Amino acid sequence: MSDTKPRILRSVRLLNAAEKRIETDFIAPPPPTTPLDTAAILKLAHEFQPVAILVTHHSPLKGADVAALPESVKLIATVSVGLDHLDVPALLARGIAVSNTPDVLTDCNADLAMMLIIAACRRAAEYYTLMKKGWGHTLGMDEMLGHRVTGKTLGIIGVGRIGQAVARRARGFEMNVLYHNRRRLDPTHEQGATYYESLEDMLPKCNILSLHLPAAPSGGPIITARTLALLPRGSVLVNAARGALVDETALIDALRSGHLFSAGLDVYQNEPNPDPRILALPNVFMTPHAGSATVETRTAMCMLALDNVTALVAGKPLPTPVTA
């Protein structure tokens, strides 16, 4: 690395350990008090001429935004695994490297998915609402009953790092794991899970369905009225991946009709303002897109983004490059 510290921007305040590292190893403006949007980050980039910009979903860079980046920028380091907010081909075409933060958030995302599974099956949202109202009466033997998680059949769509981590946790609950993926895993990674090439063949066998795949850039939702109808009546849907994967009107209809017993959701089509009809449903357990929201994981994500900047400036391979 040269004697001059690299100049960087970040669109959000990072965790304390990362901010201390920036103070020591980089030249950067003070951390923003609120997340910067795209216009603000572009304006600051032209004023500050950074070699790298650390971004999140708050400041998407697409189309004309990419063209508007100053020539000084050689790396966009997103503090996320997801790339929905970046036009990666356009960035690469401009000779701007892209990095993300895979692996370090796998366990916390899988933990949250298991929380959604358990909470949706055991009516956690309804129990919490009852208790906040003061409870007030004992429950009858057949009142407000949930479903046991142990021993159920879990279907997983998408078995990348997080999907496989969810499968490992499910085995601790003696669950029968099925999965659908673009391609079958190597048998050494299946660990007893059953592969279904056809989603339509897998869905009727699932008590619980959990989504762990990226949203298709040009495709529609994978969970529609048709695919929901293939699930057994009384099943549970969990989505800790992307809101665009689910037709929310079809989901609402399935929850209202009782075809779905419940749902556990961390992501929504319209964030941070989910459909009010979903918010009003008693049989949905919801979290605010918080899969990686632990001190340990968010710190590791920030540090990995900075590691990519350090590698770029030193002329070394990026630890976690995005190549397509």
232-288 residue pLDDT tens:
999 999 999 999 999 999 999 999 999 999 999 999 999 999 999 999 999 999 999
pLDDT range class, residue 3, cuts 50, 70, 90: low
Q: What sections of 26-141 are H helices per DSSP? A: 38-48, 64-67, 88-93, 106-121, 124-132
Q: Which pLDDT value is given to residue 4?
A: 86
Strands 153-157 and 176-180: parallel
Q: Which of 70-79, 108-117, 148-157, 186-195 has the lowest mean pLDDT?
A: 186-195
Q: Residue 98's closest CA among 303, 309, 310, 301? A: 309
CA–CA distance, 8 with 306 (Å, rounded to integer): 10
Give the pLDDT confidence of 191-243 residue by residue, as tens digits: 999 999 999 999 999 999 999 998 876 678 999 999 999 999 999 999 999 99
pLDDT of residue 219: 74
Distances (CA, A) of 161 to 102, 134, 242: 9, 41, 15
Query: Do 26 and 1 meet the contact criterion of CB atoms below 8 Å apart?
Result: no
1, pLDDT greater than 50: no
Q: Is the pLDDT of residue 165 over 80?
A: yes
Name the catalytic one among 271, 277, 296, 298. Answer: 271
Averaged pLDDT for residues 93-115 = 97
- Give the type of residue at 170: A
Could you confirm whether 242 is annotated as catalytic?
yes
Instruction: For residues 228 and 246, give the distance between their C-alpha atoms in angstroms, rounded to a whole number.
Output: 10
Q: What percent of the chain has pLDDT over 70?
A: 98
Residue 39, C-beta contacts closer than 8 angstroms, at least 6 positions apart: none
In the residue annotation, 289 being an active-site residue is answered as yes
H-helix or E-strand spanning residue 176: strand 176-180
CATH 3.40.50.620, domain 8-104+295-313, yes or no: no
For the chain, give the mean pLDDT.
96
Q: 302 and 79 in contact (C-beta within 8 Å)?
A: yes
Check residue 118 and give its pLDDT.
Answer: 98
All CATH 3.40.50.720 domain ranges in the chain, comma separated? 8-104+295-313, 106-286
Tokens coding 176: 């029968």
SS3 286: strand
Average pLDDT of 291-299? 98
CA distance 275 to 281: 11
Mean pLDDT over 43-62 rounds to 97
CATH class name, domain 106-286: alpha beta
Dig out the tokens for 38 from the structure.
Answer: 């795209």
242, 248, 256, 277: which is the annotated catalytic residue? 242
Token reading at 167: 């499968």
Per-residue tokens: 300? 């590791």
Other CB atoms within 10 A of residue 247 CB: 20
Site of tokens 């592969």:
195
pLDDT in tens, 171-204: 999 999 999 999 999 998 999 999 999 999 999 9
Q: Is the peptide bond before 272 cis (omega within 30 degrees of 0)?
A: yes
The residues, ordered by sequence, that sit 6+ positions from 182 with a Cβ below 8 Å of its Cβ are none
CA atoms within 13 Å, Cβ hemisphere of 211: 25
Considering the entire predicted model, what is its pTM?
A: 0.93
Q: How many CB atoms lie within 10 A of CB 10?
A: 29
Which amino acid is it at 67? A
pLDDT of residue 274: 98
| Residue from 10, 180, 212, 289 carrying the catalytic annotation | 289
Is 296 tagged catalytic?
Answer: no
- 274 φ, ψ (degrees, to nearest 5): -60, 160
